[in-house]
Structure 1
Amino acid sequence: MRTAVPPRPTCPPATAPAPPARRTAAAAVCAVLGLGLLGGAAVGGWLTAPPSRTAAEAAYERGGTLWSEVPVDDLFPRTVHAADAGPGGASRDWTRLGVAPDGDCASALDPALARALQPAGCRRMLRATYTDATSTTVTTVGLLVTAADGAGMRALRSRVAAGRLDERTDMLPRPYAPPGTAAERFGDAQRVSWWLTVRTDLPLVAWAVTGFADGRTGTPAEPARRAVAPGAASVAAQAGLGHEARELGTRVESAYRAAARR
């Protein structure tokens, strides 16, 4: 809204020539009055102007609706290459097998994990599944766009960290298994490693879960944090499944964050 500027004050014309000292004093008084009124108008306009958003606030707001406007290939690339993402710095390549149709958030998570994340709300659950270059391993990557504000996301992150919820084997994300692909036998029983992070700069929970493509069961599940630790000797570690979950999850999360900052 535009602030009205008060009219500049005028001094009545003298009916007779005034002495020079009086004319100088009168002119000074008029100048001071004019500057004061103009300055007051400027201050009033500054006080009533709406505050501008910071870049971080704009990115956070955009992060809540980004999924509706960014092409799916920008969020879930068709192919991903990582020069040193495998055990010992080995190169890794993945191909996208499919993108999940719209669905509710609860069906994409184990019940205990869904309950833990529920306070933040759910605007959208985005998922895609990848396989490695040999079609030996499969990984589902997910982005849960929440309805929480910054304080809500900070509280959620604190709860996840305090309870180590990203390491509990009863709180895993669930796979998406596109029919007719290398991932069609990738179900809950085939999960071997997973990765999860709660962002506070965006209303976002990012995760990834990985396993073998041949449908084998009985492999103990291990969080990626442990499977990528130096000296880890579990099946998840030696097969590089922890590395795959972490790398693909981080790549997709970074793509979403970059799109929110544009």
Structure 2
Amino acid sequence: MSEQLPPGIPRFATDLFVPRYRAARSGDWELRVAEMAISPGYWSDPVLVEQMAVLVRDGRSWMSLTPFELESQGLGVRAAAGHVLIFGLGLGWAACACAALPAVSEVIVVEKDADVLALHRELDIFAQLPSEARAKLRVLEGDAFSYRPDRPVDLLLPDIWLPLVNDRRVEEVRAMQANVGARAVHFWGQEMELIRHAVAAGRALDTSGIDATIAATGLPLIGMGDPDYAAKAETAARRWLRGRWLPGSAPPW
């Protein structure tokens, strides 16, 4: 591929571990690899992404290694330490990225779809990790709403949804956390939920307003007290919520 990039478009880069993928199929699932694509981030500007993996089912993308996905999930991954529990295997990126962090001692992934599990047995992306990181990983077949860990969990990362937003997301995470009791939680789409719940409650979209909204969920969500978190959440919401507000609420912009 030519080293010349489109004017003003930088090449995507991250300090987190990203495995290499190849095209594959399993049941209704297909893993595709795009040679290159220009993609916006969760809150950042568009960049050029090379060899972009996309997990597709029935013609719909369930996960892709775009800056959007890596930034949104990366918020949780960067908070990972100790025993990490992930609900939903997807492309396996979050599991790899967590296992590669020195602060993480164990990564358990729970996935209920047998075809996704078979796809990963064929791909074996965990083999790309250094041996000490690979030894931390274990993938189990199970259900996110019934799984109960046999030892304390430091961070729960649920990512089992296709849409970025649904009206029962917080309640569903509460149901998972009731079985897990994790010290900290970050769920996919969390920032969208916090912004729309803050707006519905009439709170400011600043650190104090987002902290109050986190407290109101009753979940130990990451982000509380981070001076940059509220601004990132608002920027992402401006870009991605697209009118999907809670009933009776309206965007503040």
Per the normalisation by structure 1, the TM-score is: 0.26
Greater relative contact order (Cα < 8 A, sep 6+): 1
- Give the helix-richer structure, 1 or 2: 1
Larger radius of gyration: 1
Per the normalisation by structure 2, the TM-score is: 0.27
